[in-house]
Amino acid sequence: EQLDVQIQLHQELILQLSLDIDAELRKANLPLIQEEDSEQEEATAASRLPSKTDESFYNKELERLQD
């Protein structure tokens, strides 16, 4: 039982760290998108950003792990 609790805590920590990393990457890439001139470059840079769907997935997974 204690092992199960530790596993769940580690899974939650990994998920939270993933969300934090995604948020940091999103912040780091936003200024680059605003400075780019070409629409193609903007589209390429935007495709590297995590989508709202990814964030929604992470949030649902975090909720699932917390139950």
Summarised one tens digit per residue, pLDDT across range 4-43 is 999 999 999 999 999 998 888 888 876 555 555 555 555 5
pLDDT category at 63 given cuts 50, 70, 90 is confident
- Flag whether pLDDT at 66 surpasses 80: no
Question: Residues of 27-55 as b/e, b for ≥16 C-beta within 10 angstroms?
Answer: eeeeeeeeeeeeeeeeeebeeeebeeeee
